[in-house]
Amino acid sequence: GGPTRQRPASWPALSRPRHPVIPSSRHRSQMEDYHKPDQQTVQALANIATRLRINSIKATTAAGSGHPTSCSSVAEIMSVLFFNTMKYRPEDPKNIHNDRFVLSKGHAAPILYAVWAETGYLKESELLNLRKVDSILEGHPVPKQQFVDVATGSLGQGLGAACGMAYTGKYFDKASYRVFCLLGDGEMSEGSVWEAMSFASYYQLDNLVAVLDINRLGQSDPTPLQHHTEKYQRRCEAFGWQAVVVDGHSVEELCKVLNQPRHQPLAIIAKTIKGKGISVAEDKLGWHGKPLPREVADGVLKELQSRIVSCSKRLYPAAPCEDAPAVSLRNVRMPSAPSYKLGEKVATRKAYGMALAKLGRYNQHVIALDGDTKNSTFAELFKNEHPDRYVECYIAEQNMVSVAVGCAARDRSVVFASTFATFFTRAYDQLRMAAISESNVNLCGSHCGVSIGEDGPSQMGLEDLAMFRAIPTATVFYPSDAVSTEKAMELAANTKGLCYIRTSRPENSVIYNSSEDFHVGQAKVVNKTNDDHVTVIGAGVTLHEAMAAAEQLKKERINVRVIDPFTIKPLDSKTIIDNAKATRGRIITVEDHYYEGGLGEAVCAAVVNETGFSVHRMAVAQVPRSGKPQELLRLFGIDRDAIAQAVRKVLSTSANNK
Ligand SMILES: Cc1ncc(C[n+]2csc(CCOP(=O)(O)OP(=O)(O)O)c2C)c(N)n1
Ligand SMILES: *[C@@H]1O[C@H](CO)[C@@H](O)[C@H](O)[C@H]1NC(C)=O
Ligand SMILES: *[C@@H]1O[C@H](CO)[C@@H](O)[C@H](O)[C@H]1NC(C)=O
Ligand SMILES: *[C@@H]1O[C@H](CO)[C@@H](O)[C@H](O)[C@H]1NC(C)=O
Ligand SMILES: *[C@@H]1O[C@H](CO)[C@@H](O)[C@H](O)[C@H]1NC(C)=O
């Protein structure tokens, strides 16, 4: 859907003071008068709200599904935001200078579409294609719609993304655009909302406005706080926000509060009625997610239509201030080859931090986030060099992922966010939504597997490969030495979609020379003779264990081919199959991860059509425990001795079978 109507150059801008005046008790009433919209404007905004209701009802009734009552409660809020408050170019929703809008309560999508029809960007008739398989107007906002930056619909995530955009606007772009986020009261029960509230006030995001639609009802029950707006106000204030309660159906009150100057993030606690304007459904349980049956809709539409008062004034959004810098994220390159020496002992987690700092040295738009683990993930090496481009997200991993997605929106930054691999599990919903958002964020999970040692199972990432492999847009890097880690970083910065880099705690030898070339989906054959008996595939610490096993077995005249996959997704099937054919289809996989969804399963899937192949998988089978790294590799059967034993067993079994 491209623009269907151009904004004529002669359209008038809304008259509004350009420089808000700091209120003082003496000048306050004068200032309020100054901001007060005239009666014509108020009427025009009310008419728009009514038309938004009408179009939300028409679209959901046509679709036979959707959430008309969730749209109705926010009609005045949307009208005022888009036709009185926000500054943007309606014919160019992705314009870098535009104010941003995030519909956190994504199920109210039909009213967002109705707004864009009201601006002229969408054809009104297109609204009736809501939720159809060939329309861009999906059930919830998705970025194929030019006016959507982040997908929403899994509740509780919009404010975190809005924080990322506001942080970017204030600290990186240093621009005037502001960020508005509309939330439902039901979703205020999500902890991730409060993680975002803390973040916004800590970083003084005075360019961020959250509008809370307090319509008293959720899906199956009233919300816990119902219409107790004063409780929301106290909670927001406790989290460091300025909080103002308004009548969410009063255009005047909304205009007034949205025009106030701000020094803090602002929460507008809008008391509303769910289903407002739909008399059968107003403030009633049992109507959530239900379109109006046609007969009901006809009556309601007639009634709403009659409320539109003829008014000559047409409203157009004000143009944005054009002060956001142009940014190019193309071709983010390392300035030089890695400078490690073969055999040098370096943990891949440390190589991550070194590579990140290096990438940032030559690329202004590389930024890093971490959740209070920066001296474990080594993101602190980046912070030390580029403090202005490091965002400490504290211990709030869900919010960190949402902030990362917000920072990456509209291609403003190349984002790397790190924490222990295992702590990304609690942000999996955010990661899944990042894929739906078509986000290009890069995530680094350190401390994978039992090889972290003494800290024990609560700190061990043993599910992360399964988790990230299941994300359709993801590329999964699992580098095994410092050189390949640095190469992975450069590739990740230039790879679309979500990138995950799995790093390890132990120090392992550098095995690649600096001029070695790496590509996504290209494995390396690390050990090879003309007469190999078994192919062993390992990654990270288990690659080094596999190489050590190969060394042991050489003394027994058993030759092992060792493969480093480099990326687990996409997996280099061709290299694996070609090399395994040279070892009569005998493959052993070994990984510091649980069996399910890891390297072994990826290899099995890659060779599923090959005849005469056998894959023996070695992985962690139980919940592990504390101990020394090498002790744990042994205890959980993924160390060099276990690999050597597995090779001998595979060879003796296949010999017996002849
Ligand atoms: C994380 C999550 N849990 C549950 C749902 C299902 N769901 C969709 S809308 C809704 C109720 C939302 O209530 P509220 O935030 O008050 O919005 P309203 O519809 O009242 O405007 C629920 C439970 C969801 N979309 N996301
Ligand atoms: C991280 O830094 C803190 C504060 O300097 C220190 O106490 C802690 O030991 C460090 N942790 C690691 C893993 O180095
Ligand atoms: C490093 O690797 C490249 C490419 O594989 C090779 O051409 C070169 O000889 C190697 N150099 C050293 C010092 O091993
Ligand atoms: C496997 O390759 C590594 C790195 O090139 C080498 O150091 C080692 O000797 C090789 N092992 C065997 C058994 O050939
Ligand atoms: C296996 O063969 C089927 C049928 O030809 C094909 O569709 C599929 O892509 C193949 N899978 C792999 C992993 O090669």
Please tell me the residue having the least CA distance from ligand 5 atom 11. 609
Is a pLDDT exceeding 50 seen at residue 469? yes
CA of 372 to the centre of ligand 2 (A): 10
Number of neighbours of residue 337 by Cβ within 10 angstroms: 13
> Which value, in Å, is the radius of gyration of the alpha carbons in the chain?
28
Tell whether ligand 3 has an atom less than 6 A from the beta carbon of residue 372. Answer: no
Mean pLDDT computed over 312-317: 94
Name the least confident of 28-42, 63-77, 160-174: 28-42
Residues 6+ apart with CB under 8 A from 133: none
Is a pLDDT exceeding 90 seen at residue 619? yes
Calpha distance 104→121 (Å, rounded): 21
| Two tokens, residue 371 | 């959740």
Tell whether ligand 5 has an atom less than 6 A from the beta carbon of residue 608. Answer: yes
- Total-model pTM: 0.94
Token pair 């020094």: residue: 263
Q: What is the pLDDT of residue 415?
A: 98
Q: What is the pLDDT of residue 657?
A: 57
Calpha distance 245→402 (Å, rounded): 27
Helix (H) and strand (E) counts for the chain?
A: 22, 19
- Nearest Cα to Cα of residue 296 among 308, 276, 281: 281
Do β-strands 442-446 and 534-538 pair in parallel, antiparallel, or remain unpaired? unpaired
**Is 397 in the active site?**
yes
Q: What is the pLDDT of residue 14?
A: 34
Tell whether ligand 3 has an atom less than 6 A from the beta carbon of residue 514. Answer: no
Mean pLDDT computed over 405-431: 98
Is a pLDDT exceeding 50 seen at residue 24? no
Is a pLDDT exceeding 80 seen at residue 16? no
Is a pLDDT exceeding 90 seen at residue 20? no
- Nearest Cα to Cα of residue 433 among 134, 133, 142: 142
Q: What is the pLDDT of residue 656?
A: 63
Q: What is the pLDDT of residue 4?
A: 36
Q: What is the pLDDT of residue 651?
A: 97
Tell whether ligand 3 has an atom less than 6 A from the beta carbon of residue 516. Answer: yes
Q: Are 535 and 507 in contact (CB under 8 A)?
A: no
Number of neighbours of residue 234 by Cβ within 10 angstroms: 12
Residue 655 pLDDT level (bands cut at 50, 70, 90): confident
